[in-house]
């Protein structure tokens, strides 16, 4: 890969075109793609014990970063902004507190940050990143579901052809794959905890699918 558009840091810092704060502030109530499911009420009224726990990590900032993994200056800039280096090994992820980075492809990463910090972080990327890169705020297009509990793995195994055996799917591994006839980015975030990043338009379908798939183990909704 070559840097087609070689800009000095000053030039790229000046490129603020098309940067706008897409996330409403705390004074504006945001609605997640599963707003209609009212998970808060279900969490209060529903069962308190079961094999699968489901929680929506809603209204996070999703930033899609595309840059050159061989460009040391860009890698350093990402580390300055997020405090953690881009994971360069395929199918791995990196975390620094509330920031997490997922490897999506050899030149693409998905960065999750707290929703209200998204614009600040995007602005700092524009200031820090040299050279040819792309950073897109795709927060509105997807949401994150967290499945945990002793049967979370079984629910996932019903839904995707990916081999999720702990031997080949260690904590921190990320795969983008087909999931329940839709698609999902699956990350193992703990021993018995998995994060699914799903498309907004499929959120309701996946929610229905997960309720059905976890019925035999008992589904506990958390808010």
Partner 1 sequence: MFHIYCPHCAEYREEEEFHAKGQAHIARPLDPEACSDKEWGEYLFFRKNPRGLHHELWVHAAGCRKFFNMTRDTQTYEIKEVYKIGEQPSVVAE
Which residue lies nearer to partner 1 by CB, 85 or 178? 178
Smaller CB separation from partner 1, 8 or 105: 105
* Comparison of 46 and 183: residue with beta carbon closer to partner 1: 183
* Minimum distance of partner 1 from residue 176's CB (angstroms): 5
CB of residue 194 to partner 1, shortest distance in Å = 17
Nearer to partner 1 by C-beta: 41 or 105? 105
Q: What is the distance between the alpha carbons of residues 149 and 187, in angstroms, rounded to a whole number?
A: 15
The token duo for 96 is 């620094």
Q: 185: closest CA among 196, 201, 194?
A: 196
For the bound state, the minimum distance from the C-beta of residue 106 to partner 1, rounded and expressed in Å, comes to 5
Rounded least distance, CB 178 to partner 1, Å:
5
Q: Which residues bind partner 1 (CB under 8 A)?
A: 90-91, 104-106, 108, 161-162, 168, 175-178, 183
Give the 3-state secondary structure of residue 196. Answer: strand
Taking the complex as a whole, how short is the minimal distance between the CB of residue 35 and partner 1, in angstroms?
A: 27
Of 14 and 178, the one with the shorter C-beta distance to partner 1 is 178
| Distance in angstroms (rounded) separating the CA atoms of residues 98 and 88 | 20
Burial environment of residue 219 by CB neighbours within 10 A (0 to 12, 13 to 18, 19 or more): buried
Alpha helices in the chain (DSSP H): 9-13, 39-45, 72-82, 118-128, 152-159, 203-213
Report yes or no: 102 and 187 within 8 Å, Cβ to Cβ: yes
Least Å distance, CB 38 to partner 1, is 31
Strands 182-190 and 174-179: antiparallel
171: left (phi over 0), alpha (psi -120 to 50) or beta: beta
Residue closer to partner 1, measured from CB, 24 or 106: 106
Q: Token pair for residue 165?
A: 């055996």
């Amino acid at each position: 890969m070559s840097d087609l558009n070689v800009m000095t840091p000053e030039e790229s810092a000046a490129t603020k075109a098309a940067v706008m704060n897409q996330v409403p502030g705390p004074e504006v109530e945001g609605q997640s793609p599963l707003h209609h499911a009212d998970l808060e009420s279900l969490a209060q009224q529903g069962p308190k014990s079961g094999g699968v726990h489901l929680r929506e990590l809603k209204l996070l900032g999703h930033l899609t970063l595309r840059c050159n993994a061989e460009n040391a200056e860009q890698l350093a800039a990402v580390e300055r902004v997020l405090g953690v280096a881009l994971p360069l090994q395929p199918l791995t992820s990196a975390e620094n507190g509330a920031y997490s980075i997922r490897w999506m492809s050899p030149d693409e990463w998905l960065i999750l940050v707290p929703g209200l910090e998204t614009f600040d972080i995007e602005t700092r990327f524009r200031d820090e990143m040299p050279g040819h890169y792309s950073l897109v705020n795709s927060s509105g297009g997807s949401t994150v579901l967290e499945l945990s509990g002793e049967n979370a793995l079984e629910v996932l195994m019903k839904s995707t052809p990916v081999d999720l055996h702990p031997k080949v799917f260690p904590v921190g591994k990320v795969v983008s794959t087909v999931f329940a006839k839709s698609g999902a980015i699956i990350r193992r975030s703990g021993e018995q905890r998995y994060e699914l990043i799903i498309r907004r338009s499929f959120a309701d379908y996946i929610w229905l699918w997960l309720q059905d798939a976890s019925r035999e183990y008992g589904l506990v909704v958390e808010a």
